[in-house]
């Protein structure tokens, strides 16, 4: 059971970094720091979008319009933090 908890924690941790990378990439793309015509850059952007958008899109629909500021990644990061803490402080002691 410990292996399952550690695997779930690892998956949440990896997704945490995908969200941060996606947010940073979107800023770099918006300010033309990265070359959008470069195939490698485009591949990374597409990958990050496809990995994070299914989670971010429902949250964006619920949040009010903040005038171009997207706080949905912050909301998802807080949810992931809560899930990880809940996993280790509530679930893990019950099964160990």
In the chain, domain spans: 2-95
- 8 burial via Cβ count (<10 Å: 0-12, 13-18, 19+): middle
Phi-psi region of 38 (alpha: psi -120 to 50; beta: other; left: phi over 0): beta
Residue 95: DSSP 8-state: H
Mean pLDDT taken over the chain = 95
Going by pLDDT thresholds of 50, 70 and 90, the confidence category of residue 67 is confident
Mean pLDDT of 68-86: 96
Burial 32-68 (b: 16+ CB within 10 A, else e): eebeeeeeeeeebbeebeebbeebbeebeeeeeeeee
Going by pLDDT thresholds of 50, 70 and 90, the confidence category of residue 65 is confident
Going by pLDDT thresholds of 50, 70 and 90, the confidence category of residue 19 is very high
Token pair for 88: 């280790």
């Amino acid at each position: 059971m410990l292996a399952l908890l550690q695997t779930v924690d690892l998956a949440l941790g990896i997704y945490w970094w995908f969200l941060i990378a996606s947010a940073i990439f979107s800023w770099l793309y918006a300010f033309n720091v990265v070359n959008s015509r470069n195939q490698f850059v485009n591949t990374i952007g597409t990958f990050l979008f496809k990995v994070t958008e299914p989670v971010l899109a429902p949250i964006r629909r619920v949040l009010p319009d903040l005038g171009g500021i997207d706080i949905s990644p912050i909301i998802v990061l807080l949810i992931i933090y809560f899930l990880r803490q809940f996993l280790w402080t509530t679930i893990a002691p019950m099964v160990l």
